[in-house]
Structure 1
Amino acid sequence: MVSCEFDLYQLNDLNVVEQVVDVTMWVGLHWFNEKVSWDPSKYEGRKRVDFTEKSDMWMPDVVFYNQIDGAPLTKELMAPYRLYNTGETYFSQSIRSSFLCPLDASYFPFDEHVCSLKFGPWTYNTEECDVEGIRLTMNFLLPNTVWEVLNLSSKHVCEDYGDGIGNFSAIIYSIRVRRRSQFYVANIIIPSVAISYLTVFNFIIPCEAGEKISYGVTIFLSQTVNLMLVSELMPRGGKSVPILGQYLLTSIIFIVLCLLTTIEIISIYANPFPENAIGQRKLKFILKRLTPIMGPKLPRKMKKVCKVNPEIETAIANLHVNGNAVLKEQKRDPKKTNGQIHYSTKTTCNNNEEYQKMTKREEIIIACETLNRFGLFCSFTFLTVLTFVYIMLLTHQSGAEPPQNLMLAV
């Protein structure tokens, strides 16, 4: 049995694209082979031999199981390996390879992932060769502009493949990475939320301005183009649609609903027949229920008009001319039936009042303005709650765990 120790002692660089991870690292293999030991006294005290080329001497055929090419680490020697008189052999070199790493982009761009590198012998079972991980460090890790490496961990596993093949030992190195989200917040999230909030201002534009529909269509096209640009930056694949993509799709549906509401309000406002613009029950409900709460400040619904008999007006004029009295208003007492005129200095009309009500057109204008303010309140509230909920979900850490079973990729 050969004991082989695997050392991932320097992780230089890491790049994650889609579900492929490119890693540059220094690895080391350390094993004992008693068949190649010697007595230093017989060879002039020589205790070490360096090999710069691959010889016929046995070397473990260790591979990364989830490596894309699946080639053994000792296939090509880029650095010499040392053989000591005790049979101890040490081999170290820098490699760059690509691995498969399943990504869940649900929390993009605040996502965390655990990429696992599974290392072990390919043809030798545990009775012939056993592996053990001995060291991990991030001291030489180069800074990455996209990903931040949080920690490294290793785990020794022994798997039984059955059918007389035997047990195979392996080491799983887990690399927890987190995406740097500053770029995506400044270039994706903030513009997307700002475009969505521009929809609210559609209800502030007066109906007579004639720009409400064109403004709503412009916001819809802007968010659609923004979704196309964002989709190029979001990772493809995964088990679910990213939360950010769900927010953009929901905002587009929200913009469409606001646009349809605006069209309905304008159709009521611009109807040449006010009597048929909206149903009486709906109009009554808007004017009596919604208008007092969030409608505009209504003009005086009724205007007082006093009816005065012409004979009374003549008598008042004569009194002013003669200077006998100064009277502001006169009225005939309806209780007197003998035609006698009673004078009064009161300035209000009591019994002969008439009221001038709002026209149908004025009611429609008030109703449309009320609907605009109601739409402004509802859309702003809904969009604020929607944005808050999605941001809370987006910043929630997924807590990814390393996969238990890694498929072989060759």
Structure 2
Amino acid sequence: MNLILKYCFFAIYIICTFNAECYTADQTKALINNLTTGYNKNIKPRYNQSELITVRITLDVISIQDFDEVKEVLAIVGYLHIRWYDDFLTWNPEDYGTISNTSIINDVLWKPPIILVNKVNKIENLMDSWQKVRVLHTGDVFYFPVGTHSVTCTPDITYYPFDSHTCYFNFSLWEYYETEVVLKPFTKEVLRTYYTANGAWDFLGSRVDKNLFGSLSFGLYLKRKPWFVLFNVIVPMTLMVFLNAFVFFIPAECGERISYGVTVVLAIAVFLTLVGENLPKTSSPMPIISFYLLALLITSILITAASIFSLRIYHQTSSENVTSFMYQIEKLCRSKSINWKQKKLKNETDLHNLKNNVQGSKKNHMERNVSKMDGSPPVSTILSDLHGRNKHLNFTNRDNTQSIEERPEEESSLNEKDSKDNTEGTWKDISVALDKMFFALFIVLFTVETVVFFAIVTLKP
């Protein structure tokens, strides 16, 4: 038992000897009373009042609370690292149980009057806070005021939603000249010791600048995450305009073309309202997405107008003659369609002939092999001789008879075709041709608008 007590006393001795935190509450009270008694917080903490006080400061961002582009306000949660030297707050740790540092309420000490210049609401002294200051026995004072800081930040939304911004927090000293108290940064960038990522913005980097009159600016580089805007605004808009172009595939007899087009135009107008509410009310600069959405709206209106025009042509009375301009349009579209069909038919015919040639060559090769084996002429040669004799005998009679029988049928088909071109179906053919032309035209226009928009906002300088 005595051995155990000896080891316990030895451990206590070691702890009290090598641990600087081994002190009592009475010693802490005595230290604080001695430091604060007779301390005047209204004078500079220097024995030589003409001596310059250097206050070092840096910003540590915890999270980005909100960035309201409409109100042009950026709010963050963070705290400041502030350090200065006080001649009146020094002591010998050995006199107070090896106390090397302590915390004191800030109301009784001198503090540099630091303000946030571009704060949105009321400008206040950041040092007037409930947090305590940490004082070292060497006279170094550390202060870490934490809170929500909201500043004005004018965003550049030219390339919205692929935009990036630089917002500044301008801190400055109040009441003192630069020859009395000066601000200097701790680091060359903003700290992110306890930073939590934001769902809408990426924190790319930061910088610290020295401004006029001794103020410091802490700049934050922010970039928007565009996926929310892409999938909730841009993609639905583009799909609606693309779907609106298919109005020309709706049969003219059903009577739903105009209502379909007007419905899409109204939906696009609603999306324009939603986008406008989330953008700053400024004309300089104008976001490129506003021009793009306006172009989509105009394209949708033109599609509706073209559909109305096509319906007007379709229901044109047969008593009115077809103008040469309309006829040329219908002829052009019909010729393009015929050429495409002829090209397709030609490709199919060439493929069929190629298959026949391959099969014929295989057959001839087999016949030659058989003739070489038994010495007889090829079967194809015998059949071709018989076929040639019969063809020579019957050629003249069959040709004359066929020409006499087919000539009236050809003349009648030509007459039917001419009469068909002059019937009321001509206006309907022109309407169908216009539908094809309008569909191709607006699809190309829509594609060009979309490609140009994404090329500008993604390949920005």
TM-score of the superposition, structure 1-length normalised? 0.75
2:83 aligns with: 30
Match of 1:96 among 139, 148, 172: 148
- Say if 2:433 is the partner of 1:370: yes
| CA shift in 2, pair 1:352/1:80, >3 Å | closer
| CA shift in 2, pair 1:263/1:173, >3 Å | same
Q: Structure 2: how far apart are the matches of 1:204 and 1:72?
A: 69
Q: Alpha-carbon deviation of 1:289?
A: 3.0
Superposed, 1:265-344 pairs within 5 Å as 265-276=310-321, 278=322, 280-294=323-337
- Say if 2:55 is the partner of 1:4: yes
Any idea what SS the aligned residue of 2:107 has? coil
| CA shift in 2, pair 1:228/1:10, >3 Å | closer
- Say if 2:396 is the partner of 1:348: no
Match of 2:218 among 166, 170, 173: 173
- Would the aligned equivalents of 2:318 and 2:427 in 1 still touch at CA under 8 Å? no
- Say if 2:384 is the partner of 1:384: no
Q: Name structure 1 gaps, 5 residues minimum.
A: 160-167, 299-326, 331-342, 399-410
2:73 aligns with: 20
| CA shift in 2, pair 1:102/1:374, >3 Å | same
1:244 aligns with: 289
Q: Structure 1: how far apart are the matches of 2:445 and 2:204?
A: 37
Residue deviations 1:73-123, cap 9 Å, x none? 1122x2211334543221112121210111122222221111111112123
1:340 aligns with: none
Q: What is the aligned length?
A: 344
- Say if 2:162 is the partner of 1:119: no
Q: Alpha-carbon deviation of 1:38?
A: 4.4
Residue deviations 1:183-232, cap 9 Å, x none? 22221111111111011101112222322112111111221222223333
Any idea what SS the aligned residue of 1:349 has? helix
Q: Alpha-carbon deviation of 1:61?
A: 0.9
Greater Rg over alpha carbons, structure: 2
- Would the aligned equivalents of 1:295 and 1:366 in 2 still touch at CA under 8 Å? no
- Say if 2:191 is the partner of 1:128: no
- Say if 2:246 is the partner of 1:192: no
Percentage of pairs with the same residue: 22
Match of 1:72 among 115, 118, 125: 125
| CA shift in 2, pair 1:288/1:118, >3 Å | same
- Would the aligned equivalents of 2:93 and 2:100 in 1 still touch at CA under 8 Å? no
Task: Compare the two structures and name the one with the higher strand fraction.
Answer: 1
- Would the aligned equivalents of 2:126 and 2:145 in 1 still touch at CA under 8 Å? no
Q: Structure 2: how far apart are the matches of 1:61 and 1:216?
A: 64
- Would the aligned equivalents of 1:296 and 1:369 in 2 still touch at CA under 8 Å? no
RMSD over aligned Cα, in angstroms?
A: 3.0
Higher RCO, 1 vs 2 (CA within 8 Å, ≥6 residues apart): 1
Q: Alpha-carbon deviation of 1:62?
A: 1.1
TM-score of the superposition, structure 2-length normalised? 0.68
Q: Alpha-carbon deviation of 1:46?
A: 6.1
Q: Structure 1: how far apart are the matches of 2:151 and 2:410?
A: 95
Task: Compare the two structures and name the one with the higher helix fraction.
Answer: 2
| CA shift in 2, pair 1:81/1:207, >3 Å | same
Q: Structure 1: how far apart are the matches of 2:272 and 2:285?
A: 17
Q: Alpha-carbon deviation of 1:14?
A: 3.4
- Would the aligned equivalents of 2:185 and 2:208 in 1 still touch at CA under 8 Å? yes
Q: Structure 2: how far apart are the matches of 1:349 and 1:139?
A: 96
Q: Name structure 2 gaps, 5 residues minimum.
A: 1-51, 342-396
Any idea what SS the aligned residue of 1:175 has? strand
Q: Alpha-carbon deviation of 1:240?
A: 2.9
1:108 aligns with: 160
Q: Structure 2: how far apart are the matches of 1:116 and 1:65?
A: 10
Q: Which amino acid aligns with 2:193?
A: N
1:210 aligns with: 255
- Say if 2:317 is the partner of 1:260: no
- Would the aligned equivalents of 1:274 and 1:364 in 2 still touch at CA under 8 Å? no
Any idea what SS the aligned residue of 2:406 has? coil
Which region of structure 1 is more displaced relative to structure 2, 91-100 or 289-298? 289-298
